[in-house]
Structure 1
């Protein structure tokens, strides 16, 4: 009998994971506030679900993409969930001085090692920031489920059906006919990327191989902002001219969703070894997200993506 998997959330992670689990023979049930259009083409089931109001799902596997704090995990009955897979974030990491991405604009950005592994220092759990709440969530998951808890720490996620598509920064400009692209920090910022599709594959591997613990999930390399823009432009058949700006420049000119003064590169070798296949490459894999955004081409991107506009 096929094992059941409850996927909580219908954004880019839920979309990719639903495809990955369905393709691997699992019986999928998607739990989300509203039924997404994309689910119609795949075998599975949808159930309306509002976090904090409806009873927590039960299944052989639960993939929770919307667990942001310990209370979101505490709602589950560990006796009615076989394996709990939680999507956390690489933003939980801090440098030796305790600096984090969350507080970078105020306290200074973290100076990380060349590549961040799972044993890198993390922030203390608490209610203060997105990242401290994520750590509190991770701790609760491990407390309740022990070795049946799998914590996945992705980075700057990209893919179709995103509610926060960073790639729109370039796609919208190119669709509007803009070809000269100013970039702060001379376009050399590196903010580690994560393919939602590979994140879904990692979740399936965790379910099939009963992988417990913490795993970074990231692309093979961390492309620079210039490389990201060039990859998107090439796929869209657009010739662009990058205009490097030293430092931050005036106002918001050249400031992208990946623009950091110091690099953040993440080591996903533990996940690669566990899953038994190489991580994806941003330059080739971003095409799906670009095609989705190009087809959508919203007239009012702020209305289409309120999280991105916030």
Structure 2
């Protein structure tokens, strides 16, 4: 059973598992299905917060539960409460649980000198934030602790995902470049010299990790990343190639020169790069797609979405995090002054 089956990660995961021979129940709030899934995939409605509904869908038992939407210790306890009816689990966590040797993490990044200084790359043994209710990161840490504590009863692979990308993303960072190119912008501004690296991971590569972990159950934590962690400037160039355009890139040393100038969704002052050695060693992981290879599908989807609706309507989550992502007036004013 795949929980969150119609989301960005769920769609390719259902497809990968079904084609690998699993009898898949694709559970989601709407009970929908993807047109690319094999016809024998069973779609089912599920409210993730309804304990009884989850238990009923598991029924007499299933060999594997893949949970895309688990968030917090209460969701972990839902799964461990059904441990006698579940063979193993794969659950999505986040790289945001990591903290550096001074206790800095994603939750401190807006504080003075608050951005974490992680090792490059980050191994799974890196310390994590304390579990709690304060933030996304602390709740994901609580989810992990509960599930790892039940390793003997419910073998669970936790995947600490980087910046997930793909055609169905609710937070498509690629829009920063795609929309500017569609709008005919002749220049874009990148802070930190365009060298920011925030490790991406294709939804298809996450699905491959899940497929491999399903065949090798165990209690473990693994990073989930693409084969490379390109810089933001390299990402922009790759998108330009897909769109056959050549805008100028203006690089700024140091932080963004304004609140809405040079601040891309990848703009971090220090690298966030995941070590994928353990996934290769334990699962035999080989990425099925590189970042550049995945881009045409993402760009096509963004083109079609923007053709009919404003970007804020298409991607309200992205607009909530980055409300001034396309402040062209501020960019132009800064470029003129420069």
TM range (shorter): over 0.9
Q: After the TM superposition, which residues 179-198 of structure 1 pair with which residues of structure 2 at under 5 Å, given as runs?
A: 179-198=186-205
In 1, distance between residues paired with 2:247 and 2:132? Answer: 44
In 1, distance between residues paired with 2:86 and 2:182? Answer: 46
In 1, distance between residues paired with 2:198 and 2:111? Answer: 18
Contact 1:157 / 1:193 at 8 angstroms: preserved in 2?
yes
In 2, distance between residues paired with 1:268 and 1:171? Answer: 29
**Per-residue deviation at 1:93?**
0.5
Contact 1:230 / 1:240 at 8 angstroms: preserved in 2?
no
TM-score (norm 1): 0.93
In 2, distance between residues paired with 1:227 and 1:261? Answer: 16
Quick one: which of 72, 78, 86 aligns to 1:81?
A: 86
Quick one: which of 92, 95, 102 aligns to 2:107?
A: 102
In 2, distance between residues paired with 1:145 and 1:49? Answer: 25
Q: After the TM superposition, which residues 135-154 of structure 1 pair with which residues of structure 2 at under 5 Å, given as runs?
A: 135-146=141-152, 148-154=155-161
In structure 2, the gaps of 5 or more residues are 321-338
TM-score (norm 2): 0.85
Q: Is residue 271 of structure 1 aligned with residue 274 of structure 2?
A: no
- 3-state SS of 1:67 partner: coil
Q: Is residue 259 of structure 1 aligned with residue 267 of structure 2?
A: yes
**Per-residue deviation at 1:36?**
4.3
Structure number with larger C-alpha Rg: 2
In structure 1, the gaps of 5 or more residues are none
Q: How many residues end up aligned between the 2 structures?
A: 306
Q: Is residue 309 of structure 1 aligned with residue 319 of structure 2?
A: yes
Q: After the TM superposition, which residues 216-255 of structure 1 pair with which residues of structure 2 at under 5 Å, given as runs?
A: 216-247=223-254, 248-255=256-263
In 2, distance between residues paired with 1:82 and 1:55? Answer: 19
Contact 1:68 / 1:137 at 8 angstroms: preserved in 2?
yes
**Per-residue deviation at 1:292?**
2.1
Contact 2:32 / 2:44 at 8 angstroms: preserved in 1?
no
In 2, distance between residues paired with 1:201 and 1:36? Answer: 22
**For residue 3 of structure 2, what is the aligned residue in structure 1?**
7
Cα 1:264/1:300, change in 2 over 3 Å: same
In 2, distance between residues paired with 1:29 and 1:70? Answer: 24
**Per-residue deviation at 1:230?**
0.7
- Aligned residues: CA RMSD: 1.8
